Amino acid sequence: MNKLLPLLAVFASLGQAQAAAPDRIASLEAAVRSAQSAGDNAWMLTSAALVLMMTGPGLALFYGGLVRKKNVLGTMMQSFIMMALMTVLWAFVGYSLAFGEGGSFFGDFRYAFLHNVGADPNADYASTIPQLTFMVYQLMFAIITPALITGAFAERMKFSAMLLFMTLWGLGVYFPMAHMVWGKGGLLNAFLGGKIPCLDFAGGTVVHITSGVSALMCALYMGKRRGYPAEPMKPHNLALSFIGACLLWVGWFGFNAGSALSSGALASSAFVATQFGAAAAAIGWLVAEWIHNGKPSVLGGISGCVAGLVAITPASGFVKPMPALVIGLAAGLVCYAMVAVIKGKMGYDDSLDAFGIHGIGGTLGAVLTGVFATNQVNSGLKDSGGRLLPLGLVDGHAGQIVNQVIGCAISWILAIVLTLIILKICDMILGVRVEHDEEVQGLDLTMHGEEAYNLEA
């Protein structure tokens, strides 16, 4: 009997285990979900912070160093205030108009004032992280996109008119475009039922074409800075621009790798593509400049890296590392030609080259995404039988290039038409341009009552 007791105990425990099995499996599944959520959420919150860092201080320093010293604070303020203005707008209606399930062009008001946006994931977009994380991550894109435009009208736009312009621009251009490409039911959304499936991983159309093309419209509508191009308007501090560009490069990992909306292999792939695109573009721009002008400049190197980061943005979650190098190199060469050669002949004053880098680089990257996108990197598109669908030309799907071109065209048209209308409205209500004397004195003193460099103080 004594020998039998342990045996009985084993049988008894087996019985218990069988009875508890479904519970234990459920609790294991819950633990796995919670672990995955914790991992994904940690990366996504980090990414959100990285993308915010791109605007302030990244872009603020990059642009601030490129203007004359009487305008450095005004220029930095134009980036910084987006961090406040767009945040409030996003909370009220922006997130809902972009990501609420609406029609082909707009979301709806279901998430207005962040109603029902909480700890539960929104399974349509990111099933492993709280919707709050997804919402705040996407907010950072809505901040940097309008901030990019400020490069075009630098040193001459009235602060009040800029606030009104950006508010209307968010409502009229950014939120609809974000909905079209990324929102559920959006016209161009390849993954959530869009009629024209356009591949845009992190914002080639949504961020860079909209901002770059709108920037060109601003430059054309507002006219040149007084004295341009006869008077010298050299960058007042390229060391600031250098720091800003390097912060942009680092922040861009949050922008692109974060757009995986999870922390797995797709994020790694986008991270790698981002690095390779930036590196190749810096080299491309520098080589072109070296041959064309005789010297490789620091401004050329950092401008090239930004152009590459722009171009790789739509492609980052779809392409392998070697095509990323090709896309970056192409962006460096093309954007150099645009900024250093073609712009001078066209005669418009896009002060800090928001169009030449973001508009052109974004369009180039969006089209090349249709060439190099492959389902070996991104397995997001499957047919009803669960088989992977071909993505770009390299997968044998040449038609994707047409979809990409249509996506670009829609983005261009929306940006051109709406920006001109919004500028006209702002001009009628407030006047978009500062007075002659104010422009001569500089925005720092006339708009904000401060000077950046009080070295004798």
Partner 1 sequence: MKKLEAIIQPFKLEEVKEALKALGVDGMTITEVRGHGRQKGHKEVYRGKEYTVDLLPKVKVELVVASARADEVIKTLADAARTGRIGDGKIFVYDIAEAIRIRNDDRGEAAL
Question: Coil, strand or helix: which one is 350?
Answer: coil
Cα–Cα distance for residue pair 445/454, rounded to 1 Å: 12
Cα–Cα distance for residue pair 66/432, rounded to 1 Å: 22
Adjacent-strand bridge partners of 388? 382
Q: Considering only 20-28, 89-97, 185-193, 288-296, which stretch makes contact with partner 1 by CB under 8 A?
A: 288-296
| Among the listed residues 75, 117, 76, the one whose alpha carbon sits nearest the alpha carbon of residue 93 | 117
Applying CB under 8 A, which of residues 186, 300, 328, 365 lies at the interface with partner 1?
Answer: 300
Q: How far is the CB of 68 from partner 1 (least distance, A)?
A: 12
**Residues in 88-127 at the binding interface with partner 1, rule: CB under 8 A:** none
**Residues in 308-367 at the binding interface with partner 1, rule: CB under 8 A:** 336, 339-341, 343-344, 353
Does 453 engage in binding with partner 1 (CB under 8 A)?
no
CA angle 139, 149, 222 (to 5 degrees): 145
Does 232 engage in binding with partner 1 (CB under 8 A)?
yes
Q: How far is the CB of 232 from partner 1 (least distance, A)?
A: 5
CB of 300 or CB of 359, closer to partner 1: 300
Tracing tokens 């559920």 back to the chain, one arrives at 184
CA angle 11, 15, 20 (to 5 degrees): 145
Q: How far is the CB of 234 from partner 1 (least distance, A)?
A: 6
Adjacent-strand bridge partners of 157? 433
CB of 214 or CB of 303, closer to partner 1: 303
CB of 280 or CB of 339, closer to partner 1: 339
CB of 232 or CB of 396, closer to partner 1: 232
| Among the listed residues 99, 317, 93, the one whose alpha carbon sits nearest the alpha carbon of residue 192 | 99
Applying CB under 8 A, which of residues 55, 274, 303, 446 lies at the interface with partner 1?
Answer: 303
CB 122 within 8 A of CB 134: yes
Applying CB under 8 A, which of residues 234, 436, 455, 457 lies at the interface with partner 1?
Answer: 234
Cα–Cα distance for residue pair 356/228, rounded to 1 Å: 18
CB 353 within 8 A of CB 330: no
CB of 223 or CB of 399, closer to partner 1: 223
CB of 177 or CB of 243, closer to partner 1: 243
What residues line the site for partner 1 (CB under 8 A)?
Answer: 229, 232, 234-235, 292-293, 295, 297, 299-300, 303, 336, 339-341, 343-344, 353
